[in-house]
Amino acid sequence: MKKLGFIIALFFLFLPPNFSQGDIDDQLKLFFRNEQSFGGTISSIGYGASFRYGKRINFFNSRLIEGSVNIIKHPKEIKGSNPIFPNSKRFVFGKENFFFNLQASYGFQRIKFKKKDKGGIEVRFLYTAGVSIGFYKPVYYEVLVPVSLYEYKIETEKFNPSLHTPYDIYSRASFFKGFNELKLVPGLTGKFGISFEFGKADPGISAIEIGGSIDLYTRKIPIMASDDNRLFFPSIYASFRFGKVIDKRSQTKLDFLQNQQ
């Protein structure tokens, strides 16, 4: 619930305060409005980044092609430190694997409410579906190994729930340790969202998007050393997108009309 509240607060924080009315939008616009945009996303299960291309079908509808990379976290990931050595680095005890995915999706977007003035907002509904390729690698820790009654040495070890306790771990090892043991899990993904586009001038695009997504994999992803790892990942998300309108035919015509003014 805390993550849900944070996402909702993030949405209202970045939403322009004067979206209900503004100056009449009399600027010349690109008609076809094919679009490309980049987005940063925070969700109830992690965070990520994406690229999206939208090809106009007609005045209200577009086809979407999207690619993204996402870091997925387990609800039980809580950072702490060694209770005996307070100066040790923080780590997530019990985390067995670092998990991320690469996704490719296809979908549609429909304009529900068209922007009427420069301070207004264009509301769009969208949905996509596609493939999600998950990758996970083991997490290594810097482990305290006793060599005498008062001395310890630090060794890099893969987490073992039957051997390690919070008192044994000094910190997490290098993030890049374990990439040679990377494993792949195929899956599917789907998303539904509502986009609020508030860019004030063509060809720029600025938008806030909120929605929900579902990822399903062929087997459980062992993120934590526990019995509640899952293969099904539902989430809610909020995303900030920025980009531009791209259509050479319309841009050429727009440049010509602007030069006539």
Lowest mean pLDDT among 5-9, 57-61, 102-106: 5-9
Q: If phi over 0 gives left and psi between -120 and 50 gives alpha, with beta otherwise, what is residue 166?
A: alpha
pLDDT for 43-71, tens place per residue? 999 999 999 999 988 888 999 999 999 99
Confidence band for 28, pLDDT divided at 50, 70 and 90: very low
Residues in the chain: 261
pLDDT for 185-229, tens place per residue? 999 999 999 999 887 666 788 899 999 999 999 999 999 988 889
Asked if the bond preceding 75 is cis, omega within 30° of 0, the reply is no
69-89 burial, b at 16+ Cβ within 10 Å, e below that, comes to ebebbbeeeeeebbeeeeebe
Residue 128's contacts (CB-CB under 8 Å, 6 or more residues apart) are 64, 66, 105, 106, 107, 108, 190, 191
- Examine the pLDDT at 112 and tell me if it is beyond 70: yes
3 state DSSP class of 181: helix
pLDDT for 149-186, tens place per residue? 778 888 899 988 888 888 888 888 888 999 999 999 99
- Examine the pLDDT at 136 and tell me if it is beyond 70: yes
pLDDT number for residue 31: 52
CATH topology for 2-78+92-137+176-260?
Porin (2.40.160)
Contact assessment for residue 7 and residue 42, using Cβ atoms and an 8 Å cutoff: yes
Across 83-107, average pLDDT: 90
